[in-house]
Chains A and B, each alone.
Chain A
Amino acid sequence: MLDDFFVRALLAGLGIALVAGPLGCFVVWRRMAYFGDTMAHSALLGIALSLALDWSLLFSVFLISGLISMVLVLLQRRGGLSTDSLLGILSHSTLAIGLVSLAFMPWVRVDLLGYLFGDILAVTKSDLAVIWGGAVLVGVVLVLLWRPLLAGTVNAEIAAAEGQRPERARIAFMLVMAFVIAIAMKIVGILLITALLIIPAATARRFATSPEVMAVLAALIGGVASTGGLYLSLATNTPSGPSIVVAALALFLAALLPLPDLVGRLTSSRIREDTP
């Protein structure tokens, strides 16, 4: 079964979607979309590092993305500039440095487009092992991190006052995100990773009444988008990464239709009724 490239692609997409959903919820709740973009852009610098030193791609991307997020934490503590300005600086300068460094290595032939937009159809069996191993690891860390991270998302001061150590949870969360970007890069590419984090979560928001429900829904919606996008790609011979994002967008737009709104109104009026 795994010998079929399309089955491998489907499984890889599902593995990524399952962790990108819950992780993406935090990105939405904490308004970190731009942060996700920045880390993804810095992945190109990681690719350059990997090629220059012949290090593992996964490790290099994780290292650089993780480093960039720690640099952001330090710059934020220093104060003076708003976070979005800092992110703008980090995001584009890491992308630029990555491209410039690649140009210094003329002996390296890179499929830049593959890195930018992903090449899910080239997923190997070992890639699949890394993705699913990574997904399980991220899932476990998220479960362990859930309470402090959610408390810190609602209010960092409450979390700190009541012993949840929100700053530690935040840094752990950033590293998890760097890791997910490193394993997801192959699937949707640097430029589209943030979409896989945010669009399913935003779609799930409409149907969710609690953070946990939203996280589970986001994982499921991401899985549907990934599978649907791959079939779309197969049927129409379109690039796989962008096709997945288009499928996710289609689900998001479908969720905007009035039907779910009606369902929501019915359930909420029922809640009102059973109150004394």
Chain B
Amino acid sequence: MASAMASSTGGALVTMRGVGVFRSRRWLIEGVDLTIRPGEIITLIGPNGSGKTTTAKTAIGVVSADAGSVERSRDLVVGYVPQKLAVDRSLPMTVSRMMTLTTRAGAPAVDEALERVGIRHLRKAQVHDLSGGEFQRALLARAMLRRPNLLVLDEPVQGVDFSGEIALYELISDLRESEGCAVLLISHDLHVVMAKTDRVVCLNGHVCCAGSPSSVAASPAYRQLFGARASEALALYRHDHDHTHLPDGQIAYGGHDHDAGACGGGGGGGDGHGHDHDHDHDHGHDHGPGRAHDPQGRHAALNGDPAPHPQDGAPAPRRASEHDHA
């Protein structure tokens, strides 16, 4: 059923239509549509077991589809960095030897690839002796040495500390810029990734929602999956946002919330309202106790919203209309 023909891909590297994968008596993914075009960064997000890795593996043909179709461009060259890789200690392997695992390359090309990720000095080291970050860089260099037009990275910052994580994402972004390859990235690391990505596909066995980072963060399906905190994390990293997504699915415009909050605090004087805004500024909208300070009836009336917000830490004070009042 699943085909891997190169025809009619319309310039896309990979086109998946209604793809399902059935293993161990259940569907790991179902009805997944995904198109990967040259040069774009796509991030797959989703909870554990949502089929992120399965989707990526099906796209590049490591896993075969049981339903739907997968079309791959004839000149697709994949560079793959898998989620887990442990080279058995019984297998001696230098970093430079690992570079040519699936491809031929001369020593200068290998050195250059290692230089690109900043670990040329480790070329004679055994891969077992590398730190987590060094090993991930080596894997990245190995994948790039193939000059892929599609780089697939499955949770590439696992086992890397926070500063190394940011450096690694910057490296990936740089490599994309210089090599022009498409990147299919799997991550649970919403905030760091989203700033760099062109398109986000949110999975939970099927495609919940897909689109630009901000439109995905706005979608109710995404919120249901990750909760309000997830989009909050996004907001923290994207300071150019012009609106805020509320947990109840509404959108508040003019949302320079931090500034507005400060204004509210100043204008409100010492009536307890200001405290609420300061709190809000620090922690976003996930704070039940702060809400208790608020005279609830007043807010409801001011919003023209008779029903209290069901979500804990309701964002009412953050709404633009609120600050008009203050």
Contact = CB atoms under 8 A, between A and B. Distances in A.
B50 interface: no
B88 A155 contact: no
A162 B121 contact: no
B80 A161 contact: yes
A211 B90 CA distance: 10
Contacts of B98: 154
Contact of A154 (B24, B79, B93): B93
B101 A150 contact: yes
Interface of A: 28-29, 31, 79, 147, 150-151, 153-155, 157-164, 202, 205, 208-211, 213-214, 271, 275-276
Given A161-B61, A210-B97, 6 more contacts: A147-B101, A158-B85, A162-B103, A162-B146, A210-B94, A211-B91
Contacts of A158: 80, 82, 85, 101-102
With most chain B CB atoms within 10 A of its CB, the pick from A151, A157, A161 is A161
Contacts of A208: 92
Interface string B64-99: 000000000000001110100101101111100110
B78 A161 contact: yes
A260 to B, nearest CB: 14
A157 B94 contact: no
27 contacts: A28-B90, A29-B88, A29-B90, A79-B24, A147-B102, A153-B88, A153-B91, A154-B93, A155-B85, A157-B80, A159-B101, A161-B60, A161-B62, A161-B80, A161-B152, A162-B78, A163-B78, A202-B90, A208-B92, A209-B94, A210-B92, A210-B93, A210-B97, A211-B91, A211-B92, A275-B121, A275-B122
B57 interface: yes
Contacts of A157: 57, 62, 80, 82
B82 A155 contact: yes
A79 B23 CA distance: 11
A151 B121 contact: no
Contacts of A150: 101
Interface of B: 24, 57, 60-62, 78-80, 82, 85, 87-88, 90-94, 97-98, 101-103, 121-122, 124-126, 146, 152
Nearest to A153: B91
A208 B126 CA distance: 11
Nearest to A159: B102
Contacts of B92: 205, 208-211, 213-214
Nearest to B91: A29
A157 B125 CA distance: 24
Contacts of A29: 88, 90-91
Contacts of A28: 90
B35 to A, nearest CB: 19
> Which 5 residue pairs across A and B have the least CB separation, nearest first?
A161-B80, A162-B102, A275-B121, A208-B92, A160-B62
Contacts of B93: 154, 210-211
A31 B102 CA distance: 21
Nearest to A148: B102
B92 to A, nearest CB: 4
A265 to B, nearest CB: 13
A139 to B, nearest CB: 20
Given A147-B102, A162-B102, A154 B125 contact: no
Nearest to A267: B124
A163 B150 CA distance: 14
Nearest to B102: A162
A270 to B, nearest CB: 10
A31 B62 CA distance: 23
Contacts of B97: 210-211
B146 A154 contact: no
